[in-house]
Amino acid sequence: MSDRAPSTPPAAPMADAPSTPRTAARIDARREALWAVPVIALLGAPWMLGVRPGWMLAGIALGLWRLVSVARRLTSARQHEVVFAPSRAADGWLLVSLLLVAAPHAQRLPIWLTVVVAIAFGWRTLTRLGRLAAPPRWLVPPLAAAVSLGVYLQYGTLFGRDAGVALLCLMAGLKLLELRARRDANVLVFLACFLALTHLLYSQSLPVALFSVAAVVAIATSMIGLQQREPNLRASAATALRLTVQSLPLMVVMFVLFPRLPGPLWSLPRDTGRAVTGLSDSMSPGSFGSLSASAEVAFRVEFKGPVPRPSQLYWRGPVFWAFDGLTWSAGPEIESHREGPLTVQPLSAPIEYAMTLEPHDERWLLALDMPVAVPPEGRISQDYQLLAHQPVRTRLRYEGLASVAYRAGAGESADSLARGLQLPTGFNPRTRELARSMRAQAGSERAYVEAVLQRFSTEDYFYTTQPPLLAGPHTVDAFLFDTRRGFCEHYASAFAVMMRAAGIPARVVTGYLGGVVNPVGNYLVVRQAEAHAWNEVWLQGQGWVRVDPTAAVSPSRVQSGIAASVPEADPLPMLVRGNVPLLSRVGFTLDAVTNAWNQWVLAYNAQRQRSLLQDLGLDAPDWQSLSLLMVGAVCVVALLTGVLVLRAGPRRRLDPEAALWDRLSRRLARSGLAREPGEGPRAWAARVGSARPPLAAAMNAIAQRYIDLRYGSPPDPRDRARSRRALARAIDALEP
Amino acid sequence: MSTPLQRVIDQVGTVVLGKQPQVRLALACLLARGHLLVEDLPGVGKTTLAQAIARSLGLAFQRIQFTNDLLPADILGVSVFDSTRQAFTFHAGPVFAQIVLADELNRATPRTQSALLEAMEERQVTVEGSTRELPDPFFVIATQNPSHQLGTFDLPESQLDRFLVRIRLGYPDAAAERALLAGEDRRSLLAVLPPCLDPASLRALQDEARAVHASGPLLDYVQALVTATRATTELAHGLSPRGGLALLACARAWALIDGRRHVEPEDLQAVFPGVAAHRLQAAGSGDSASTDARIARLLAEVPLP
């Protein structure tokens, strides 16, 4: 029972070290390549596919791997077990890369778990530094049992995403404590790979994907370092990077060809109870004001033709009929969807667009007012809302067709019209009184509508994202007569009440107004801050007519967007305000990148795969033949890559001076003065000088410095670095 | 302020007109402790060059005219019975000089040639069982008529390899020729050349040349050049390792003449034709002109590492 603390003895000669270091390095590199291909493919493929089976397959592969290695260990009767004696450096890299992949999980793990994992990491660090003995061997199994129990008590299960990740973090920490043999280190490398993968179970955004790739490179670096007696961080990292790049073709093949089957088995575990900002199924004073602080993207739209004017960009969402004195809601559902042809009569050329809707956990699909066609992803309700068949939980892309001028619902049923007149009794008496008197003065319904809008525009009403609170119960009264400061929902609500009180059917339509054209990607981005509410009134002979009372108060809201219409002091996300040109330029670029990622990578689903394969001449292969195709393609690509890599052989590395010299040659190549292969520095400088006399002095000085650096007697390394920098500056300063 | 070496070159240049690169190469060869082969037609100034160098360096000079009946003993010396002392005394041959001009080396028989070549290599002479050191510095300038002339025994390649550098003097250009015709008699000019160096400081300079720094990338370049001579199919055979060493030694001396303590790639390029040409032979028909062209192409094509 001796305590075999790995006090990092000097690296023992490796049993299988080949005779010459050169061959050893080459064999090492090939062995690394053999290892890295499956690891990186395993890591890369599932997240690209966005599917759980990738996760499962990886687990199966790892399990098989472990089985094989255990069997081999048993048959070799343990005589070859190598005591773990890597260089201290590689050991540290492993620790760092594990920390890198585990640390982001701290935001999700319960605090006690984070603490346990942190203690394990800390212990290992202290052991490495020689401050603390490694824990005794018998301690780890009971600890593992205890934390597993803890995880079970915490989550009620050991399976599933959250519990699984927690368990993985804990086991990685515990494995660190029993890092003794080389195979322990290998297990840790695999654990780190899995931990890198788990981040994609939470988010598949581009930053997370890039982080995973970076983590893979870090892990591969430490894996390479573990195989070497005198690891060099830069060289190992370069090798890891090269291996990652070499595995890219493999990744692309698997991304394109991995069979994607619809169904729950294939979807990622869903986030339930995730806070989603967006429109809601009811509207009360203040509900839109809070949205105005959110820069979150609601959806992005690509128009087939030119982008319509900002005042035409009404994006239709939930329609509210029922008012209880404070809150508007959809009301009791009557006949929920129309049968037969749409009653919308387009009066202008239809506008075609493709909408990419961010998930909002509700069923409505936003559509440009007024929708004249129904995409296959949804249906249309009686009040012209597009509704999806299921709540929108993943990013959804659909094609839309809209007509900005229309006649809708001229023959609306009496039932509907009656719903459009309901008002709660006993609320807002002053408003009702005002409506009655104004209606009496106005000659027609049309004139009355105009009169109400006139009142909003001429009297002291203000448009602000931060209206004062309304004292109940008569909130509309309080707004119309007292506070007179409100956001879109205040005006829409008050206007609808005024209409209904005067006997004109009216309803509230919510959605978004406007959007910002992203010049980088040439599409329209609509953010939550652009949420809006307006009204529709039913006029005899005209049907439902859109009236936006906010336009009467603040015409600029409609014509130039929210940023121009709310006071400077009101909080509005900077991206929406767009008053910092550089920031908005960066913002546009970032959004275009995100959009491209969403459209090309995350949205690559079974349907897109099918159409791509059809373009390649493969008609609807089933998943078995697709799998075969993928395996075949993987073999071909791996073979090709392998042949290319092995044929290219070890590339001669340029020393820094030679690299600088090449840079100079590339710069001068633009003037046709590139260096000839056998041309010495002085001869070249002389040639350049005679071709371009103004450069002569600089060129001679550069050549002299280069010669001193490269061929002169070896100087102090620090001087060398300094004069190398000076050479780089001189080269960059040269204006060919 | 010119260095003594620079002064030597300038001074030799006043006698051997318009041949500065060759003079410089000859001096580099001497500094690298090598021997020089001058290959050209009679009468272009080979002997004058050798004498001018000897005088400018303040070295003892001997000339051996090689003929086809010259015997080794004529070069190395003989022991003659001295009747007054009742003993054999050694009469040193002309080889016991600091600078030996072996004129028309290829007119002697191979046996005589090899006697000189062995002396050059060993820097000592063994006659009748006793070994005698040759003076230091010891520098042989051999001249050779172009091999197509009658009555010549071509030096075999292995012998050519013993010469560090081979130069060709060639005809002088018009201006040099005019100056030659208009100027004084060369012989009288030679007589008044003052020595610029003494043997001791020449030895010191030779040691210094050996210590000139050659960096890793420069050695890479030497290797690249040597490898290129071996890889190309245009040459019958490549440079030997001794050829590579010769290249480096000569480049070091060349750098020293420039007053530098490190070798630059362009030093290598400057000495490469002189060091390599006589060791290489163009494949196929292979006259010397095509070998020179191949070497120039090689220098242009082998990239500087």
Q: Could you say which residues from 700 to 729 on chain A have a Cβ atom under 8 Å away from some Cβ of chain B?
A: 707, 710-714
What does the DSSP assignment read for B72-118?
HHHHHEEEEEETTTTEEEEEE-TTSSSEEEEETGGGS-HHHHHHHHH
Among A563, A582, A601, identify where a domain stops: A582
Query: Residue B303: how many CB atoms within 10 A of its CB?
Result: 13
Taking CB atoms and an 8 Å limit, are B266 and A681 in contact across chains?
Answer: yes
| Host domain of residue B262 | 211-301
Q: Are A321 and A270 in contact, with CB atoms under 8 Å apart? A: no
Same domain, B181 and B33: yes
* Closest by Cα among A676, A568, A121, A337 to B266: A676
Alpha carbon of B297: minimum distance to chain A alpha carbons (Å): 9
Name, in order, each residue with C-beta under 8 angstroms of A635's C-beta and a sequence gap of 6 or more. none
Q: Are residues B86 and B185 in the same domain?
A: yes
Q: Which of B217, B264, B302 sits opposite A678 (nearest CB)?
A: B302
Q: Taking phi first (over 0 means left), then psi (-120 to 50 degrees means alpha), and beta for anything else, what does residue A156 get?
A: left
Residue B215 in contact with partner chain A when CB distance is under 8 A: yes
| Amino acid code (one letter) for A718 | R
Is the pLDDT at B152 greater than 60? The verdict is yes
Q: Does residue B222 belong to any structural domain of this protein?
A: yes
Q: Report d(CA A350, CA A303) in Å as an integer.
A: 11
- Under-70 pLDDT residues of chain A: 1-64, 66-88, 261-277, 333-342, 567-583, 649-654, 736
Q: Residue A98's CB: how many other CB atoms inside 10 A?
A: 29
Contacts of B252 in chain A (CB under 8 A): none
In this complex, is the C-beta atom of B300 within 8 Å of any C-beta atom belonging to chain A? yes
Q: B303 to chain A: nearest residue by CA?
A: A677
Q: Please indicate, yes or no, if residue B183 is contained in any of the structural domains.
A: yes
Verify that B292 and B182 share a domain, yes or no: no
Collect contacts of A580-583 with beta carbons under 8 A, ≥24 apart.
none
Q: How far is CA A134 from the centre of its chain?
A: 41
Q: Residues A241, A360: one domain?
A: no
Residues B284 and B160 both lie in one domain:
no
The kind and range of the H/E element at A285 are: none
Tell me how far apart the alpha carbons of residues A310 and A293 are, in angstroms, rounded to a whole number: 21
> Residues A43, A107: one domain?
yes
Q: For residue A565, is it within any domain?
A: yes
Q: Indicate if A243 and A312 belong to the same structural domain.
A: no
Nearest chain B residue to A709 by CA distance is B215
Give pLDDT, residue A575.
62
Which of B179, B201, B223 is at the close of a domain?
Answer: B201
Beta bridge partners of A545: A537
C-alpha–C-alpha distance, residues A648 and A226, integer Å: 25
Whether the CB of B224 is below 8 Å from some CB of chain A: the reply is no
**Are B180 and B56 contained in the same domain?**
yes
Concatenate the DSSP letters of all residues of A468-507 into one string. Answer: PPPPSS-HHHIIIIII-EE-HHHHHHHHHHHHHHTT--EE
Residue A603 lies in a domain: no
Which of A191, A221, A259, A203 is CA-nearest to residue A43?
A191
Phi, psi of A440 (to 5 degrees): -65, -40
Query: Do A388 and A252 reside in the same domain of the chain?
Result: no
* Whether the Cβ atoms of residue A278 and residue A528 lie closer than 8 Å to each other: yes
Alpha-carbon distance A240 to nearest alpha carbon in chain B (angstroms):
27
Same structural domain, A242 and A321: no
Q: What is d(CA A509, CA A524) in angstroms, rounded to the nearest whole number?
A: 21
Residue from B208, B215, B222, B268 whose CB has the most chain A CBs within 10 Å, to mutate: B215
How far is A219 from A231, CA to CA, in rounded Å? 14
Residue A15 domain-assigned? no
- Statement to judge: residues A216 and A334 lie in one domain: no
Q: Look at residues B182, B201, B220 and tell me which one is the last residue of a structural domain.
A: B201
Do A436 and A327 share a structural domain?
A: yes
Kindly list the residues from chain A whose CB atom is less than 8 angstroms away from the CB atom of residue B254: none
Q: Are residues A556 and A700 in the same domain?
A: no
- Is residue A337 within 8 A of residue A379, CB to CB? The reply is yes
Domain range for A474 is 283-582
Tokens of B185: 């008699």
Distances (CA, A) of A460 to A288, A484, A547: 21, 7, 20
Q: How many domains does chain B have?
A: 2
Regarding whether B192 and B220 lie in a shared domain, the answer is no
Q: Which CATH number fits the domain that encloses residue B134?
A: 3.40.50.300
Decide if A685 touches B, using CB distance below 8 A. no
Q: Calculate how close chain A gets to B35, using CA atoms only, in Å.
A: 27
- The distance from CA A722 to its chain's CA centroid, rounded to whole angstroms, is 42
Query: Domain total for chain A?
Result: 3
Across the interface, whether the CB atoms of B266 and A676 are under 8 A apart is answered no
Burial class (CB in 10 A: 0-12, 13-18, 19+), B202: buried
Collapsing DSSP states into helix, strand and coil, what is residue A592? Answer: helix
Provide the CATH number for the domain around residue B259. Answer: 1.10.8.80
| Cβ distance of B262 and A678 shorter than 8 Å | no
**Cα B42 to Cα B104: distance, rounded to the nearest angstrom:** 9
DSSP structural state of residue A202: T
Residues B278 and B195 in one domain: no
User: A195 lies in a domain?
Assistant: yes
Q: Is residue A20 part of a domain?
A: no
User: How many CB pairs lie under 8 A apart between chains A and B?
Assistant: 49
In a domain, A612, yes or no: no
Q: Which residues of B touch A676 (CB under 8 A)?
A: 300
Least Cα separation, residue A655 to chain B (angstroms) = 9
Buried b vs exposed e over B88-105: b needs ≥16 C-beta within 10 Å? eebeebbbbbbbbbbbbb
Is residue B20 one of the residues assigned to a domain? yes
Residue in A179, A186, A195, A255 with CA at minimum distance from that of residue A36: A186
Beta pairing partners, A282: A329
| Interface touch A712/B301, C-beta < 8 Å | no
Q: How far apart are CA A14 and CA B114, in angstroms?
A: 56
Summarize pLDDT for B31-69 with one digit per residue, the tens. Answer: 999 999 988 877 888 888 888 888 888 888 888 888 888
3-state per-residue secondary structure call for A333-362: CCCCECCCCCCEEECCCCEEEEEEECCCCC
Please indicate, yes or no, whether residues A159 and A254 belong to a single structural domain of this protein: yes
Determine the residue of chain A that is closest to B224 in CA distance. A678
Question: Is A187 within a domain?
Answer: yes
Q: What is the DSSP letter of A83?
A: B
Q: What is the DSSP string of A131-153?
A: SSPPPPGGGHHHHHHHHHHHHHH
Same-domain check for residues A381 and A468: yes
Task: Name the residues of A annotated as catalytic.
Answer: 488, 532, 548
pLDDT at residue A181, rounded to an integer: 76
Domain match, A240 and A324 both: no
- In the predicted structure, residue B250 carries a pLDDT above the cut 90: yes
**Cβ distance of B301 and A678 shorter than 8 Å:** yes
Task: Tell me which residue of B244, B93, B55, B243 sits closest to B163, measured CA to CA.
Answer: B243
> Which member of B215, B261, B269 has the closest CB to residue A680?
B269
Structure tokens at B103: 């004129």
Residue A707 to residue A715: CA distance in whole angstroms = 13
Q: Is residue B206 part of a domain?
A: no
CB contact under 8 A, A680 and B218: no
Best of B266, B295, B298 to disrupt the A interface (most A CBs within 10 Å) is B266
B59 within domain boundaries? yes
Q: Check CB contact under 8 Å for B264 and A681.
A: yes
Encoded tokens for A731: 């080269």
Identify whether residues B145 and B83 lie together within a single domain: yes
Chain A residues 646-675 with CB within 8 Å of chain B? 655, 657-658
Q: Please give the pLDDT value at position A692.
A: 87
Same domain, B182 and B35: yes
Residue A100 lies in a domain: yes
Query: Is B149 part of any domain?
Result: yes
Cβ–Cβ under 8 Å, residues B224 and B293: no
**Same domain, yes or no, for B167 and B222?**
no
**CB proximity list for A598: less than 8 A, separation 6 or greater:** A356, A395
Burial A264-274 (b: 16+ CB within 10 A, else e): eebebeeeeee
What's the CA gap between A679 and B196, in Å, rounded? 35
Residue B29 maps to a domain: yes
- Mean pLDDT of all residues in B11-22: 86
Same domain, B84 and B188: yes
Within 10 Å of residue A456's Cβ, how many Cβ atoms? Answer: 22
Q: Are residues B197 and B216 in the same domain?
A: no
Asked if A364 and A486 sit in the same domain, the reply is: yes
Q: B302 and A711 in contact by Cβ < 8 A?
A: no
What residue in A sits closest to B214 (Cα-Cα)? Answer: A711
Give, in degrees to the nearest 5, the angle at Cα B60 between B55 and B61: 75
**Minimal Cα distance from B263: which residue of A?**
A711
Domain boundary pick from A560, A582, A604: A582
Q: Which two tokens stand for residue A462?
A: 């203000």
DSSP B221: H
Domain end: B201, B228, B252, which one?
B201
User: Could you tell me if A300 and A526 are in contact, meaning their C-beta atoms sit under 8 angstroms apart?
Assistant: yes
